[in-house]
Amino acid sequence: AMTRDVLIVGGGTVGLSIGFELVRRGTPVTLFEKETAGRGTSYQAAGMLAPDAEIEFEERELYDFNRESLRRWPDFADRVEAASGQSVDYRDEGTLIVADDRDAAEALERLYEFQRDQGLDVEWLTGAEARDVEPFVAPSLAAAVYAPSDHQVDNRRLVGALRTAFKAEGGTLHEETPVEAVVPDEDVPAVRTAGGDRVGGTRVVVAAGVWSRELDGLTPDATPPVRPVKGQSLQLRSKRPFDLQHVIRGPEAYLAPKSDGRIVMGATSEEMGFDTTVTAGGLYDLLEGGWEVVPGIRDLPVDETWAGLRPASRDHAPLLGRSAAPGVLMATGHYRHGILLTPITAEEMARLIRTGETSDWLRPFSPRRFSDAKSPTRSA
Ligand code: FAD
Ligand code: GLY
């Protein structure tokens, strides 16, 4: 079959949101999802929109990209909510980064100084001041940094709303339809499904998260160098009088309270390939780390445990734009920030696909930076 559609492989937050931004501007899209859309890594995340708290992991270029995406989040949330009729639970209470002992306080002070040097809007608090902001943190806290600009959404609601919004705007969604291979071509690139269908379109976008490098049909220089980084997590159910309002980040675990009473606690960071086993040691570390900073979790029911796979590239920055394969674009490698980076990824990729022009925002994240002799580094 041949369509006039943009073909997207993968229905996570990245694929669905690019599809949404295209169809609502009148560009037809067919999206292929191997299982149910929105049940991959995007479902397993914590939903934090946290450029400031996580700046220590990033280079300045990625920090600026993260920040710009956060700036676009409120408008994007409004659009998705209007198109889907569903809430994504955008919350702007801010994040408390907390230290539970002297060593942790020293490490936190170094982070705080770095954040201040970079011009971030963060505030140093004593343990007592931290309790004024959030009464459920431990009385024994040594210190905290308040990051009011870091926000959060409910990532499970987000992918549900995006799936509805994409279809409501006229997108075609094929679930339970794995794509086996991509067939590059400048004029009519195509995908071949596991069922043996070959579908041609105007462009192919690979948004298959951590599975992006498993697709056949791409030469080594066009294959995205993305590997899985395992993150074990668990979910608590809030129970009165316990009523946490802020994202809390301790040295060993974070807690992200959602408005429906879910509290997501994460996450380990493990190089274990595609293994998604939940281990006693992983849960133990998270529970101990969470309990040390928010002792009231002790009495809460545990709802769920899981392990998600972060799609990490070699430099931990995303791959966004034209690949070395004709007609094939990449939107993958979002690692720790795929929920945060959803608006900027969707808007800038949709612009590139519609106009053929790569914006200044996308240029540093070219998928060809790993293979192209003319741009051997990210800054080139
Ligand atoms: P996915 O959601 O995995 O979507 C890819 C989709 O492609 C899947 O649905 C899959 O089934 C489908 N697919 C794969 N192969 C094929 C194929 N051959 N054919 C058809 N379909 C295919 N980010 C944040 O911004 N904030 C956070 O707080 C945060 N916390 C996290 C916590 C954990 C524990 C983890 C693991 C990640 C976290 N992240 C967070 C990162 C974020 O979850 C990811 O960066 C993001 O979800 C990646 O989105 P995606 O659409 O690329 O991948
Ligand atoms: N950004 C949170 C995580 O990756 O665990």
Ligand nearest to the CA of 330: 1
99, β-bridge pairs: 143
91, 73 contact by CB (below 8 A): no
Cβ-in-10-Å burial (0-12, 13-18, 19+) of 49 comes to: buried
For 295-307, write each residue's pLDDT tens digit. Answer: 999 999 999 999 9
**CA R_g for the chain:** 21
178 lines ligand 1 (CB under 6 A): yes
CA 287, distance to chain mean position in Å, is: 23
97 lines ligand 1 (CB under 6 A): no
pLDDT value of position 375: 46
pLDDT value of position 33: 98
* pLDDT tier, 58 (very low <50, low <70, confident <90, very high otherwise): confident
Least confident of 41-55, 56-70, 112-126, 182-196: 56-70
For ligand 2, the distance from its centroid to the CA atom of residue 45, given in whole angstroms, is 7
For 146-197, write each residue's pLDDT tens digit. Answer: 999 999 999 999 999 999 999 999 999 999 999 999 999 999 999 999 999 9
320, β-bridge pairs: 331
CA distances to 124, 179, 319, 329, 344 from 205, in Å: 43, 12, 11, 5, 16
In ligand 1, the atom with minimum distance to the C-alpha of 180 is 18
31, 20 contact by CB (below 8 A): no
For ligand 2, the distance from its centroid to the CA atom of residue 337, given in whole angstroms, is 7
pLDDT value of position 371: 82
Closest CA to 245 of 123, 129, 89, 93: 93
125, β-bridge pairs: 144
Closest CA to 51 of 368, 273, 297, 344: 344
15 lines ligand 1 (CB under 6 A): yes
In ligand 1, the atom with minimum distance to the C-alpha of 339 is 25
Q: Check pLDDT > 70 for residue 378.
A: no
Average pLDDT of the chain, as a whole number: 96
For ligand 1, the distance from its centroid to the CA atom of residue 210, given in whole angstroms, is 7
pLDDT value of position 59: 83
For ligand 1, the distance from its centroid to the CA atom of residue 45, given in whole angstroms, is 8
Please give the average per-residue pLDDT across 92-96, as a whole number.
97
For ligand 2, the distance from its centroid to the CA atom of residue 137, given in whole angstroms, is 21
For ligand 2, the distance from its centroid to the CA atom of residue 292, given in whole angstroms, is 19
322, 365 contact by CB (below 8 A): no
CA-nearest residue for atom 8, ligand 1, is 40
Q: Check pLDDT > 80 for residue 370.
A: yes
In ligand 2, the atom with minimum distance to the C-alpha of 231 is 5
* pLDDT tier, 81 (very low <50, low <70, confident <90, very high otherwise): very high
For 319-359, write each residue's pLDDT tens digit. Answer: 999 999 999 999 999 999 999 999 999 999 999 999 999 99
